[in-house]
Structure 1
Amino acid sequence: MSRSLILITLALVIAVAGHLQTGSKLALMHQLSLIGGHPFETVYDYAFYYGSLPRTAMAILIGAALGISGSLLQQLTGNRLLSPMTLGTASGAWLTLLITTLCWPVFAASHPDLAALAGAGIASSLVFLIAGRSGLSGLPVVLAGMAVNLLLGALASALVLLNDQYAQPLFVWSSGDLAQNDWHQVLWLLPRLLPIVPILIIAPRALTLLRIGEGNASARGLSLLPVFFLLLTASLWLSAISVASVGLLGFIGLLAPNLARIAGARTALGELLGSLWLGPLLLLATDAVAQLSSSQAGYFVPSGAASALIGAPVLIWLLKQKRQGEITAPAPRVLRPPASAPRVTAIAMTALLLALLFGALIDRDTDGWQLQFPSEVIWQLRWPGLIAVIAAGSGLAVAGTILQRLIRNPLASPEILGISAGASLAIVLTMLLGIQGAGMLTPLAAFSGALIVLGLLLFFGLRSGFAPSQLALVGICLAALVEALLQFVLAQGGDDTFKLLAWLQGSTQGVDEHTALWLASGVALCLIPALLSQRALTLLSLGATVASARGLGVQRARMALLVLASLICALVTAGIGPLAFVGLLAPHLASLLGARSIRLQLIVAALIGSAILLLAAGLGRTLLVPNLMPVGTLSAIIGGGYFIYLLSRRRLVTA
């Protein structure tokens, strides 16, 4: 590893020089003379000393912080896929910073690190409660982190929509930006990075003992719980101050420790040192790409988007190097004894009817809430949206049920595939090209984007034999990649930014009669093969070995079910926009009611999914009158909040 550290150090020196050259027109020797104290002569000298040089220093410091943060998380849990991004800590830090900026701007300006740390702590606590201690080393904690990310992202988007006057800087902030105009932020950050020094001194012994097992570590005098929380707090602190300084930067904390191990790090100290060096190297390289792209293309390219665009393909390559047995996904646990089909169906139908009445008949004005039949004009505007959300809710619920059985994990959902993110990206690209709103172009573009992501999933799925855990992780990578591209477009601002943002939250405002009917027809056609696939789903939920022994073509069945779930998700996204948590929550609620057989769970989940979106549509129309909240935002907040409460309560009860 010492030889590798020397090579990494040389690469880091070259990266620093290249980064300085990228951000300034001055020759390298002239830059060095300015650093050495040479007097300023031109405006370029000032721009270098107060712009390019602090940006390079910030990239080094933030890269080191994220590298150490990711290494601590991965070594504490033994999970090579954990990082501030996948654990949800970065999203939590950003949300609390956003809240304090809007509500207590003075506190946010003076103590952004404390606000970010609070959010990081809340997010990580939720993830640990969902995944449980036994799930930290496998896929459950990654899926739980993505669920928390979706919920926090929905909350943040709702705040942005309600405070549009602050939107442009918030978009840049959420995308990650290393640009500096003086040394103030660097000097603010430096003393807050001091915990790195005791980490490098104290942490290696504790992490080394953890590698030999908890029992052996305890026998050698290591107090596991205090050490775990101390090092976890240090990791959260480094992640929080990074978000407070430059916003969200994905993949650096995930890739640096993995690349350190590839470079030959075999000890805890070696991995920490390798991450300390590789984090700045990665961030300098990605930020240089961002600066070059901004200057050449004429668009503002956020540093966070560039890091994700580079990091996601590298992570997919790393996943290909893993054996399928290294990442496991447990089968869903039984929550309640099976119930009779008529009783469960009647309960779900009642919930759907009540939600339909609420979505169709409840209004609110200056006199308060009112139950009334809408006028003919209002009904002509309202019924297409109601049909659309019924179809979308049932479709996503069925897709979620298929995926949870297919991947054998209760936290799986359509969002894991990244299909809706691909459809969203296609819409964003049509906006960027200036051809949005051309009749059927929007749904066609969304469907094309979804199919492209599906093709990538099938390609990687074929190479891994459609292993459930590998498929889910590739979907997460693709979703993160597409999300980076979306953040790039949103960071440009413009007149259509808020219209686009509302669509990205799932909006029925643009749904007309034609869109509602073709969406309902398409989802109904997809439900037929879903109901006919109960035998395959039942066998696959028992495991590939059992399914193969019973004569099922495992790979062919997985591929067909994956295509079916993806097509449903693509249809919904093309019609309404991306919707989160419906496909995650509805199968759980169906299981809670006692629906155990595949056919019954599909039917009950479809009814519940429609009820959830109808409730969200009614609340979005009436909750903040005269403001309208997108149905996807409300469904994510309602469904995500209840789902996290449900899993956290179950974890606490059964622990």
Structure 2
Amino acid sequence: MKRPAWSLLALVTTQLAALHIQIGTPLSLAQQWQALHEVQSLEQLIFVHTHLPRTALAVILGMVMALAGGLLQLLTQNPLASPMTLGTSAGAWCAIVLAGVLAPTLQLPLEWLALGGSLFALTLVGALAGWRQLHSLNALLAGTALNLLLGSVAAIAVMLNDQYSRTLLVWGTGDLAQNDWAWVLWLLPRLAPALLLIPLLCKPLHLLQLGSQAAAAAGLNVMRLAIITSLLALWLNGLAIAAVGIIGFVSLLAPALARLLGAHKPADNLGMAALLGAITLLLADIVAIWLSHHLADLLPTSAAIGLLGGPILIWLCLKLPLASSLPDATGHPFRRQPTALIGWCLLAALILLLSAISGKDAAGHWLISWPDAGLWALRWPRMMAACAAGMGLAIAGLILQRLLNNPLASPDLLGISAGASLGMLIGLGIGTSLSPWLFSSSGAVVVLLALCWLAPRQSPARLILLGIGLSSLLEAALQLVLAQGNQDSFQLLNWLAGSTYHTTPTQAIALLGTVLILGGISLVFARVLLLFGLGETLAQAVGLAVPQARVLLLLLAGLLSLAISSQFGPLAFIGLVLPQLAIQLGARTIKDQLWLASLIGAALLGLADLASRTVFFPSQIPVGALASLTCGSLLVIGLLGRRRRLA
């Protein structure tokens, strides 16, 4: 890299740091200089112990997170690898939450908890995708799956202990606000050894760019380098999470932007990424401070970085090269087995019946009997709505997977659920007389139109990454509400996790009717879905109007997803896992897959409704959180099984 580029980035970092200090204090430059020598007023005290440490922390953590992401990208040769996309940030956060909820008296060191959770997540990603395939889309899919799975575990832990975990929820939203220099002084001695080690890794990492086999032939111990580099990256990211919670995007964007600016050698890439990380976090925190002055509530830094980084992530998904390795969309070549299908349908019906008549009494004892009229009046609407949601998401997932000929497509991964939820949040935030459901519909329609436009122009891998970017935007918007830590935050968290607590009979019947009607329409399109599964070229050769059919099927899947997400929020994994599970259980034709996937979805959500009101009796947890946890576990098991078959 040329020296003027380094000088320019250093100058921008210095100017942003100065602006960051000035935007947070009313003191003049003379008063600020005086405060450094002697504090004479309350404003000077706030300046010295609040504004200055916040600026210092923004610079330090921006560099630290960028270095963590840069090390992972250099090690995996994956331009979209980061602690966020590989699931290690979620692992660190989940470990800290579980330790704080389950063992609060032990006072375990946060940095070691974060490192342990990160190592667990990275080990799972390596086992799921393969250690030699961390450069591919499969690694990002495994990381996304772990993000959602571990996020569900942490959310359940928080919801079960909401009275004791409010401060944990507020802290974990990722804000740089400080009251003293404690965290800066805590970070520096823990960072020093890691920063001294990084220059020693630049030459081996440069050699690794030739390929692991060539590097090993040149005498490089690739395994030892991978262990040291990954531990170092996870340690740096764990320190950042321990200090301020999860702040995404910096670890992903800074190294990628450095590479786009021409910094390809490890030393150049890491150095420029560190400066870009400081610039990114300073800029995001300046936006957060400025917006907090104009909003009723404080805006966390993580929300600002998400709002800034989400569009950049979407742009990077379109620009950066990415190795893709997708499994076959049609599953394994099972022959149609009607007897087996009937058996699975009977099993699903039995599960639904047991879910309806099972429960616990006031003493916590299991009862299997038909509930009385009063209990049944409370139970049947939520169970009907849960079963309808499972059916609808399974059908929507199957439609999208066949339409895009991609087994990884689902309403949540393609961003349809996120678009609906984001639209609803915008409607609630505006507070107009218009119904927030109208905004929810608009958000889903915008995503659907974008998918219709992008589907023929981008690969399935790009579409999935674009959906992940849109979901990240939604999470950034939610941080503003969740950061308040009040009762509304927990109600919103319950809604996002798929709560059926307050489902009315009218809502349940309307949802079931909508799913049955749209599901019946999907049966009419069974032949069209079969043609899409065989390829668009063949579909056009037999006379199918592919553009019009694609739009109709996307709208069908989008309406199913919209009807469910508007009532339960975004439910993860269900639409992704159940269609493939139906194929693995022997359903080969489109109609068989639709029937079996919808019945499995109804049984799964019905069982989740039973578990939500009995497992932690008398406490209850949302149905969607349990269903997502179950389907996420099934996805992890399925990826492990596929990995074992390919080994």
What TM-score bracket applies, with the shorter chain setting the length?
over 0.9
SS at match of 1:373: coil
RMSD of equivalent CA atoms: 2.4
SS in 2 for 1:415: coil
Pair 1:380 & 2:377 matched: yes
Q: Residue 448 of structure 1 aligns with which residue?
A: 442
Give the superposition deviation at 1:493.
3.5
Aligned to 1:112: 110
Q: Equivalent residue for 1:594?
A: 586
> Counterpart in 2 of 1:302?
300
CA drift of 1:568 comes to: 1.3
Q: How does 1:253-332 map to 2 (within 5 A)?
A: 253-322=251-320, 326-332=322-328
Distance, in Å, in 2 between the alignment partners of 1:182 and 1:534 is 63
Classify 1:321/1:577 alpha carbon distance in 2 versus 1 (closer, same or farther; 3 Å): closer
Percent sequence identity is: 41
Shift of 1:129: 2.1
Are residue 181 (structure 1) and residue 179 (structure 2) matched? yes
Identify unmatched segments of 5+ residues in structure 2.
none
Once the two structures are TM-superposed, the CA of residue 208 in structure 1 deviates from its matched residue by 1.6
Corresponding position: 1:603 with 2:627: no
Q: 2:236 and 2:538 mapped to 1: Cα distance?
A: 46
Which whole-Å deviations, capped at 9, do the CAs of 1:49-71 have from their partners, x for residues lacking one?
11111111111111111101111
**5 Å matches for 1:85-484?**
85-108=84-107, 111-133=109-131, 135-322=133-320, 326-332=322-328, 336-365=332-361, 366=363, 368-429=365-426, 431-432=428-429, 441=435, 443-458=437-452, 461=454, 465-484=457-476
In the TM superposition, what whole-angstrom CA distance separates every residue of 1:306-353 from its partner, at most 9, and x where no partner exists?
Answer: 100000011222233346xx4424133776541434224213312321
Report if aligned partners of 1:331, 1:541 keep a CA contact under 8 Å in 2.
Answer: no
CA deviation profile, 1:109-142 (whole Å, cap 9, x unmatched): x500001111111122222222224542222222
**Equivalent AA in structure 1 for residue 27 of structure 2:** L
CA positional deviation for 1:561: 3.2
Change in Cα spacing, 1:447 to 1:488, as seen in structure 2 (3 Å) is same
Quick check: 2:341–2:596 contact (8 Å CA) kept in 1?
yes
Please report how far the alpha carbon of residue 587 of structure 1 lies from its aligned counterpart in structure 2 after TM superposition.
1.7
- Structure 1 CA distance, aligned partners of 2:541 and 2:200? 51
Deviations 1:84-130 (A, max 9, x none): 1111111111111111112223444x500001111111122222222
- Normalised to the residue count of structure 1, the TM-score between the two structures is 0.92
**Partner residue, 1:12:** 13
Q: CA deviation at 1:547?
A: 5.3
- 1:498 and 2:490 aligned: yes
Aligned-partner residue type, residue 347 of structure 1: G
- Whole-angstrom CA distance in 2 between matches of 1:334 and 1:562: 19
SS of aligned partner of 1:105: coil
Q: Which stretch of the first structure deviates more once superposed, 449-458 or 634-643? A: 449-458
Letter in 2 for 1:372: S
Structure 1 SS opposite 2:507: helix
Which of 261-270 and 135-144 deviates more?
A: 135-144
- Whole-angstrom CA distance in 2 between matches of 1:267 and 1:548: 47
CA contact (8 A) 1:341 1:600 kept: no
Q: In 2, Cα distance between the equivalents of 1:523 and 1:172?
A: 37
Counterpart secondary structure, 2:163: helix
Within 5 Å, give how 1:471-550 maps onto structure 2.
471-542=463-534
For structure 1, which segment, 67-76 or 329-338, has the greater mean C-alpha deviation from structure 2 after superposition?
329-338
In structure 1, distance between residues paired with 2:441 and 2:468: 19
Query: What amino acid is the match of 1:607?
Result: L
Q: What residue identity is the alignment partner of 2:616?
A: L
User: Structure 1: how far apart are the matches of 2:164 and 2:418?
Assistant: 25
2:125 counterpart SS class:
helix
1:602 CA drift (Å): 2.2
Q: Work out whether residues 428 and 436 of structure 2, in 8 Å CA contact, stay in contact via their aligned partners in 1.
A: no
Secondary structure (helix, strand or coil) at the match of 2:620 reads: coil
Which shows bigger deviation, 593-602 or 252-261? 593-602
Alignment deviations for residues 148-185 of structure 1 (CA, whole Å, 9 cap, x no partner)? 11111111111111111134323322320111111111
Measured at CA, do residues 367 and 105 of structure 1 come closer, stay the same or move farther in structure 2, by a change above 3 Å?
A: closer
Distance 1:546 1:135 in 2: 32
SS at match of 2:366: strand
CA shift for structure 1 position 226: 1.8
Give a deviation string over 1:457-503, Cα, whole Å, max 9, x none: 445x26x7253222211111111101111121121233433222211
Runs of 5+ unmatched residues, structure 1 = none
String of CA shifts for 1:404-456, please: whole Å, max 9, x gaps: 33444444322112222333334445555668xx9x94644533333344344
Distance 1:64 1:158, change over 3 A: same
Measure, in 1, the Cα distance between the counterparts of 2:126 and 2:115: 16
Distance 1:230 1:478, change over 3 A: same
Query: Counterpart of 1:25?
Result: 26
**Quick one: distance in 1 between partners of 2:535 and 2:276?**
39
Q: Whole-Å Cα distance in 1 between the matches of residues 367 and 133 of structure 2?
A: 47
8 Å contact from structure 1 (residues 428, 489) kept in 2: no
Partner of 1:647: 639
Change (3 A) 1:557 1:209: farther
C-alpha separation in 2, matches of 1:356 and 1:250: 40
Query: Corresponding residue for 2:80?
Result: 81
TM-score by length of 2: 0.94
1:60 alignment counterpart: 59
Q: Distance in 1 between matches of 2:491 and 2:30?
A: 48
Contact 1:95-1:152 within 8 A present in 2 as well: yes
8 Å CA contact 1:251–1:307 kept in 2: the answer is: yes
Equivalent residue number for residue 584 of structure 1: 576
Distance change (3 Å), C-alpha of 1:384 and 1:340: same
Q: CA deviation digits over 1:220-260, x for unaligned, max 9?
A: 01122221121111111111111111001011011001110
8 Å Cα contact 1:172-1:302 kept in structure 2: no
> CA 1:398 to 1:466, structure 2 compared with 1: closer, same or farther past 3 Å?
farther
